[in-house]
Structure 1
Amino acid sequence: MAMTSTAPAPAPPTPQTDRHSSVVFSDDREWAGHLVPFVRAGLERGEQVQYFAATTDPDRVRGVLASAGVDAARAEGEGRLVVTTAERTYLSGPAFDPDAMMGLWHQAMDTARAEGHRGLRAIGEMAWGAQGVAGADRLLEYELRLHHEVFEALPLTAWCFYDSRLVPAPLLAQLAGAHVHHRGAPVAGPVLRLEPLPGRTGLRLSGSAGYDTRSAVRSAAAVVSGSPGGDVELDLSGLRHLDISSLATLAEAARRRSRGRLRLLHAPAPLRRLLGLFPELGAAVEIADR
């Protein structure tokens, strides 16, 4: 009887909110404690595992895995494990580009499947976001967009590693808060927290939006203007304050959308009054209570 080969069946899906996680650690022991089980689980599931180092020597990653009983050398030789650096991959261009990264994740998944892997999981060290890398100001935008543009479309598991020794606390709080799921050391809440809305295109804003959070508001505006599809929703149920400048930034982003509207959920009374005072802003948004 002739034997035919077939591609391996896709790995069973893991919960979506668990597949894109921020991981905060404060020492090497904690780092290894997250690294080893993540890699081991991926290899056991038949997934390709990729590690993108920024401040860690790739040989150290291999050594820690080997000391924990993971045959990293064999896995690399078979293409099941890839240990490289951000500088050789997504930071190799003139500036970090979230738009290009969305396409790169889709390409990486296609390549992993074509090579016979059941899925793809990755770890990216993110401390470069605090080290003056060109385009690092778009890192928050990138983290927010990943949920809808990548994780809702692909069976990808990726953990973003944040070393609290290298990332200032306010920035760390902002970036870790942009993930639906968090692992590791607890992080103090940022002044303005932005996080994706599970199952819907949009963001939840919590805290206060004003002069001190203008960079975060610009990231939210980039999500509003650039999200594909129809309407984008902003859940404002946890928002204590939104100044007129922040509202104008979001309204202008809504006007730039090619289709669909910006829908504000649970808009507080002061914001409703602002929209009444500035009808040119209200024309670009819709109040949609739930």
Structure 2
Amino acid sequence: MPAARTRVKPVGAMELGDHLALVFDNEEERRSIMAGYARDGVAAGHKVIYISDGVSAPEVLDWLLAARAEIAGPAADGAPVDLAEAMEAGHFVVRTAEETFLASGRFDPGASLQLMATEIDLALVQGYTGVRIAGEARFSLRRWPGTEQFGDFERMLDEIFMTTDLQAMAICQFDRRWFDEVRLAEVEASHMGRVRADDYYDDGSLRITPIFSPPGVALAGVVDAATRPAVAAVLESITTRTGLLCLDLGGLTACDPAGLRLLTGADGAGGPGGRGLLLRSVPDALHARLHADGLDDAPGVAIERSSG
């Protein structure tokens, strides 16, 4: 059945038939999402095709493997897939945009779509259960012959995903530092939605999601006796290169006293090794409780109150 429009989907929840945009301004975020996408694909028996903006296969592999060193958390640990082995076996393939889209000397939307269709058909014949395509879109800004039709290509591709039962999925990557807001709005309209990083934790009461600029996590829901162990596990497992961890609390609807102590590191669990904490978007009610408990001036903790 053809895929439906969505808004934002975690990369780990993507399904065959999805055509999503990754709009980013942070390399750590992009790296985390693409590493998960590739590993999940290989584990699912999919062929993974990565189309890079002129970067070689070994460089792309090294870049993806570095994802664990950026922000490590429970979702990044114990991954069963070795991307280096997958590349050697041909399950994970990297090609440049130039060799993929400009073999004839110019970018041709119709020919590019036919090439992708051929790749998908060949992979299915080879026994793969699906195909995952990831493409860096910055090549479209290089003014190569025909690249002014890149918007047409995205619209045509989206139409195919929306109207056919395609045994493939795709992520198109757009760097906000290169594409202006007008162009981004145009290309996003040619996708079913956006893709985001997977949650570290979500039990229906509390969701813990990685954030990347600044590095840390966003919490939404309730921190109580049932969810505190998950919060503690995530905080203990996360490492950042900056030595500063941001906790975005704008989505918290409730937090018990023990949870407040945990989030401020007052019990020793929140900030191991002298790591600083930035509590961002703290709701007024939560800030009042932090102040009442004397936790708003805890050593190494900075607080930014919600603007709402």
Q: Does 1:124 align with 2:125?
A: no
1:201 maps to: none
Instruction: Select the structure with the greater relative contact order (CA < 8 A; seq sep ≥ 6).
Output: 2
Question: How many Å separate the matches in 2 of 1:163 and 1:26?
Answer: 6
1:177 CA displacement:
2.3
1:33 maps to: 32
Q: Does 1:89 align with 2:88?
A: no
Let me know the Cα RMSD of the aligned residues.
Answer: 2.4
2:53 maps to: 54
1:147 CA displacement:
2.5
| Matched-pair identity in % | 27
Q: Does 1:162 align with 2:174?
A: yes
1:277 maps to: none
1:134 maps to: 145
1:93 CA displacement:
2.2
Question: How many Å separate the matches in 2 of 1:94 and 1:84?
Answer: 16
Question: How many Å separate the matches in 1 of 2:158 and 2:111?
Answer: 15
Question: How many Å separate the matches in 2 of 1:164 and 1:58?
Answer: 24
After TM superposition, the runs of 4+ consecutive aligned structure 1 residues lying more than 4 A away are none
2:124 maps to: 113
Q: Which has the higher Rg, Structure 1 or Structure 2?
A: 2
Question: How many Å separate the matches in 2 of 1:14 and 1:184?
Answer: 14
1:14 maps to: 15
Cα distance 1:58–1:27, how it changes in 2: closer, same or farther (>3 A)? farther
Cα distance 1:123–1:82, how it changes in 2: closer, same or farther (>3 A)? same
Question: How many Å separate the matches in 2 of 1:153 and 1:128?
Answer: 28
3-state DSSP of counterpart to 1:95: coil
Q: Which amino acid aligns with 1:162?
A: F
Structure 1 residues not aligned, in runs of 5+: 1-12, 186-290
1:98 CA displacement:
1.0
Does 51-60 or 95-104 show the bigger shift? Answer: 51-60
Cα distance 1:27–1:57, how it changes in 2: closer, same or farther (>3 A)? farther
2:190 maps to: 178
3-state DSSP of counterpart to 2:37: helix
1:65 CA displacement:
3.1
Q: 8 Å contact 1:130–1:168 — kept in the other structure? A: no
TM-score (normalizing by structure 1): 0.54
Q: 8 Å contact 2:54–2:98 — kept in the other structure? A: no
Q: Which amino acid aligns with 2:46?
A: E
